[in-house]
Structure 1
Amino acid sequence: MPLTFAKSSAIAAVIVTLSATPGFCAWYDSLDPSQWFSEKYKPEVQPDIPADKLYSEGLANLEDRNFEIASQKFDDLDKRYAYSDWSRKALLMTAYSNYEGQKYDDAISASKRYLQRHPATKDAAYAQYLMAMSQYKQIPDVTRDQDRSEKALVALTELVQKYPTSEYAADAKAKIQITRDQLAGKEMEVGRYYLEKRNFPAAINRFRDVVSKYQTTRHAEEALERLTEAYMALGITAEAQTAAAVLGHNFPDSPWYKDAFALLQTGGLEPREEKGSWLSKIYRGVIGRTAAAE
């Protein structure tokens, strides 16, 4: 809508009034585009620091346990001398500095970048080890979500598979067993909860995961006894007997086997392998060898 004479006169009056107000002129002047860039942008020129000096500074800070500063030095070196041999060394040391400084997610990121850029170098196994250990160090207690444990298991397994002759393989194998035990422990915790709530099918699924995926962990004995309990509660006696038989064949001196045996006796039963059972298929080789030895 076009301005009427009355409206335009009113606007002009407001401008005249404001122009008499202290500070208005300064404000109005600031609207002048020529004033907006009165302070010219001055790009900061980075001094040319030799690569070996940056690397030495990073090492010095590592020695003094100034891990954050060390990481910054190595990261700066990586950026200044990208795609050089200095960059490769700096990236690995960035990962190491972050690992020592307990900035594990940053260590994981740097290790991944190293493996992406330099997968065939002699230090690739160490980068994989740093990544795996950064996951491993963040494994929570068994009551919490085990996503970190899963990631640690994947990274450790990759280390053993890709670099089986590396000096880190033996340690990785030991930590794989610990991590698997942790994951089995989580399944057991949830399974016990369902068993207590008398949700027997859900409990069986958890204990089944333990004996299927983690049968070499310390939780396997209890899982087999708990399966005996759950199957007995559901009246699936053949599976209960098989679980107890597997437990007895593999862990004859276990207190868990004594409990399973006593539970079966309350129903007039005894441990007996059901050939068609999923448990029998998992442990058939072990049972066969044990029976032959007897």
Structure 2
Amino acid sequence: MKSMGSASATFSRSGRVTFLKVAAILAPLALAACSSTGESDDLALNDTPAEVLYNEGLALRAQGKLSDADKKFTELDRLYPYSEYAKKSLINMAYINFSRGKYAEAITAARRFLTLYPGNEDAAYALYIIGQSYFRQMPDITRDQSATEKASAAFAELLQRYPDSEYAADAEAKLRVTQDQLAGKEMQVGRFYLNKRNYIASINRFKTVVLQYQTTRHVEEALFRLTESYYALGVVSEAQTAAAVLGHNFPDTQWYKDAYSLLNEGGYQPSEDTGSWISKAFRGINVF
């Protein structure tokens, strides 16, 4: 039988071991609790009223502190989603990001606004911001024109849905620019195929200009290139029609003179076939 002193020593040793084990378990829990408390403090909901947050955001925007203003409106949108002030914050976020050159963020905010509030009075402005954001990213015609196409689509939608809005005039002017650039891209690719003597491919590109971009400055050359391409293929009637339509709409241009000379060298003259797609494309259209 163990003595009391021995038992006490054994208990003391086992107690220390148990204490150390418990301490080892509780220590990380305590740290986690402290950490959790700190995080909860950081993530505690801001109880500032939506109106106050909105006015603070407007004040920061007026002071030119756009980054801080954006954070304020973002916070308001997070704390009071779908509220009237969240709605106003979204359109402010779109404007601020556009002003800062953060076009992807501006587009995202504007599109979200249109999704949530399609009938709102600021919907035209949201579409305008989307169009402008893509417009600012338009590359030269040698590169991919996805941004140009999206800018064109946004401006076209704005004009269709809100023809009398205060943004309509500028949207219409920029739509013409986007259309001209898209036509220019088609012409560039069409000339490439024409130089490679891939006439079917070149005709398809010039046809796109004639059908979709008739009011751009590129349509004159497109009609001449159609004359060239069809003539090279031996489809003389279509070449004659392209030249005739070119002469009817642009009689004093060098493009028509060149088309006339090309046909004349082969003993032909411009002659319109009213059943041709080229003739039908210009029927009732004023290209001037």
Which residue of structure 1 aligns with residue 106 of structure 2? 107
Shift in Å, 1:81: 2.2
Which residue of structure 1 aligns with residue 70 of structure 2? 71
Which residue of structure 1 aligns with residue 29 of structure 2? 37
Shift in Å, 1:82: 2.0
> Does structure 1 conserve the Cα–Cα contact (< 8 Å) formed by 2:46 and 2:79?
no
Q: Out of 34-43 and 190-199, give the one that drifted further.
A: 34-43
Which residue of structure 1 aligns with residue 57 of structure 2? 58
Q: Out of 276-285 and 97-106, give the one that drifted further.
A: 276-285
Shift in Å, 1:30: 11
For the residues of structure 1 that align with 2:81 and 2:259, how far apart are their CA atoms? 64
For the residues of structure 2 that align with 1:262 and 1:105, how far apart are their CA atoms? 50
For the residues of structure 2 that align with 1:262 and 1:66, how far apart are their CA atoms? 64
For the residues of structure 2 that align with 1:87 and 1:212, how far apart are their CA atoms? 44
For the pair 1:162 / 2:154, whether they are aligned, the reply is: no
> Does structure 1 conserve the Cα–Cα contact (< 8 Å) formed by 2:241 and 2:271?
yes
Aligned residue runs from structure 1 range 234-273, under 5 A: 234-273=233-272
Q: Out of 34-43 and 193-202, give the one that drifted further.
A: 34-43
Aligned residue runs from structure 1 range 1-294, under 5 A: 33-39=25-31, 40=33, 41-42=36-37, 43-44=40-41, 45-285=44-284
Shift in Å, 1:178: 1.1
Q: Look up the equivalent residue of 2:130 and give its one-letter code.
A: M
For the residues of structure 2 that align with 1:31 and 1:127, how far apart are their CA atoms? 59
Shift in Å, 1:168: 1.1
TM-score by length of 1: 0.83
For the residues of structure 2 that align with 1:153 and 1:217, how far apart are their CA atoms? 14
For the residues of structure 2 that align with 1:286 and 1:46, how far apart are their CA atoms? 61
For the residues of structure 1 that align with 2:279 and 2:23, how far apart are their CA atoms? 85
> Does structure 1 conserve the Cα–Cα contact (< 8 Å) formed by 2:45 and 2:79?
no
Give the secondary-structure state (helix, strand or coil) at the position aligned to 2:137.
coil
Find runs of 4+ consecutive structure 1 residues off by over 4 angstroms. Answer: 28-33
Give the secondary-structure state (helix, strand or coil) at the position aligned to 1:83.
coil
Aligned CA RMSD, in angstroms, stands at 2.2
Give the secondary-structure state (helix, strand or coil) at the position aligned to 2:134.
helix
CA distances 1:72-125 after superposition (whole Å, capped 9, x unpaired): 111112222222211111111011000101111101110111111112221121
For the residues of structure 1 that align with 2:46 and 2:236, how far apart are their CA atoms? 79
How many aligned positions are there?
A: 261
For the residues of structure 2 that align with 1:248 and 1:31, how far apart are their CA atoms? 96
Judged with a 3 Å threshold, the aligned counterparts in structure 2 of structure 1 residues 61 and 30 are, in CA distance, closer, same or farther, namely farther
Q: Which runs of 5+ in 1 are unaligned?
A: 1-27, 288-294
For the residues of structure 2 that align with 1:144 and 1:190, how far apart are their CA atoms? 11
Q: Which runs of 5+ in 2 are unaligned?
A: 1-19
Shift in Å, 1:228: 0.8
Shift in Å, 1:233: 1.1
